[in-house]
Structure 1
Amino acid sequence: MMNFRHLLYDYLVSVGLSDTSAKYLNMLLLSIVLLILVFIIDYVIRKVLVNAFNAFAFRSKSNFDNILVKNKVPRNIAHIIPLLIAIEFIPIVFSDFDYIENIIEKGLKVFGIILTLWVVRSVLNTLKDYLKTVDRFKDKPIDSYIQVFMIFAWVIGLFSSFAIVSGISFWRFVTTLGAASAVIILVFRDTIMGFVASIQVSINDMVRIGDWITFEKYGADGDVTEINLATVKVQNFDKTITTIPTYALISDSFKNWRGMSQSGGRRIKRSIILKATSIKYLTNDNIEKLKHIESITTYLSQRQKDINISNTEKNIDKSVLINGRNMTNIGVYRKYLQTYVEQHSAVNKDMTIMVRQLGPTAQGLPLEIYCFSSDKRWENYEYIMSDIFDHALAAVPYFDLEIYELSAGIID
Structure 2
Amino acid sequence: MTIEPRRRRVAMVSVHTSPLAQPGTGDAGGMNVYVIETAKRLARRGIDVDIFTRRTTAAEEPVVEVEPGVVVRHIAAGPYEGLDKEDLPGQLCAFAAGMMRVAAHAPEGHYDLVHSHYWLSGQVGWLAADRWDVPLVHTMHTMARVKNLHRAEGDVEEPKGREIGEAQVVEAADRLVANTRDEAQELIDLYGADPERVDIVPPGVDLDTFRPGDRAAARADVGVATDAVLLLFVGRIQPLKAPDVLIRAAANLVRRNPALRDRLVVGILGGASGGAVRSPMALDLLAEDEGIADLVRFVPPADRGTLAKWMRAADVVAVPSHNESFGLVAIEAQACGAVVVATNVGGLPTAVGDGGILVDGHDSHDWADAIESVVDDPDRAADLSARAVAHAARFGWEVTAQQLATVYEAALATPLRASINDSGELAGIPRAVMP
Give the TM bin, normalised by the shorter chain: under 0.3
Structure with bigger gyration radius: 1
Q: When the two structures are superposed, what TM-score results if normalisation uses the length of structure 2?
A: 0.20
TM-score in terms of structure 1 length: 0.21
Q: Report the structure, 1 or 2, having the larger strand content.
A: 2
